[in-house]
Amino acid sequence: MECVIYVLLIFSSSLVLSIGEGSKIPRLGALRSKKLTSISSESVAKFYYSQTLDHFNHRPESHTIFCQRYVMDFNYWAGANSTAPIFAYLGAEEALDDALSIGFPRDNAPRFKALIVYLEHRYYGKSMPFGSGKDALRNASTLGYLSSAQAIADYAAILLHIKKKLSAHDSPIIVIGGSYGGSKYLSELVEILFVLSY
């Protein structure tokens, strides 16, 4: 699956280059002429999702929930009826507040009329299972739920919840992430979203 995604990315890049500058097809990229500014708290809506602690086991403690934070920026979104995309920024090893200054989603959202969703990784920021960082990191039993597989399932659950909540069934999700957030999650999340949405 990873090879397929890379091939698609290479193909789409060469297609954009061959179409040329006069085309009407929007292209992803950083707008170098604009100065990046941080998002004001008035332009975004913050939410908490009741997340399952363990997506893969069926023991009673697996059904424990914790609040996972995410932020939606509706400033550029054309709405669910327009099939405008959802840009989902996958948080990594940092609090969500730090991710809100990432310019790539905001630079490209106006051209695509996209909704931007920033997702906080479990065990970071305010998305802390067991109530606090001290309790979440106290031993191997509680720390065992901190894995990339659990995080991928978290993101899939939240994104499907958002699509349902906003009646955005036809809005494609474009996932964005850097380093750990982008490399580990991209292909797995695409597979999960595809399977769960059908």
pLDDT in tens, 109-153: 999 999 999 999 999 999 999 988 889 988 988 888 999 889 989
Q: Flag whether pLDDT at 37 surpasses 90.
A: no
Place of tokens 């009329």: 113
| pLDDT of res. 40 | 52
List pLDDT tens digits, range 178-194.
766 665 655 566 566 65
Strand partners, 72: 45, 117
Percent of the chain beyond pLDDT 70?
68
The residue ranges of DSSP E strands in 53-156, in sequence order, are 65-73, 86-90, 115-119
**Which pLDDT band, with edges at 50, 70 and 90, does 175 fall under?**
confident
For residue 159, what pLDDT is reported? 95
Determine the Cα–Cα distance for residues 44 and 28; give it in Å rounded to an integer.
Answer: 22
- Tell me the CB-side half-sphere exposure of residue 31, using CA atoms within 13 A: 15
Can you give the pLDDT at residue 98? 72
Query: Does 13 have pLDDT greater than 60?
Result: no
42 — pLDDT class (breaks 50, 70, 90): low
The pLDDT confidence band at residue 41, using thresholds 50, 70 and 90, is low
Q: How confident is the model at residue 197 (pLDDT cuts 50, 70, 90)?
A: low
Residue 185 has a pLDDT of 55
Which 3 state secondary structure label does DSSP give 114? coil
Domains of the chain from N-terminus onward? 42-196 (3.40.50.1820)
Amino acid 195: pLDDT: 56
Phi-psi region of 123 (alpha: psi -120 to 50; beta: other; left: phi over 0): left
Is the separation of the CB atoms in 69 and 46 below 8 Å? yes
User: DSSP of 141-190, one letter per residue?
Assistant: HHHTT--HHHHHHHHHHHHHHHHHHTT-TT--EEEE--THHHHTTHHHHH
Instruction: Output the pLDDT for position 103.
Output: 81
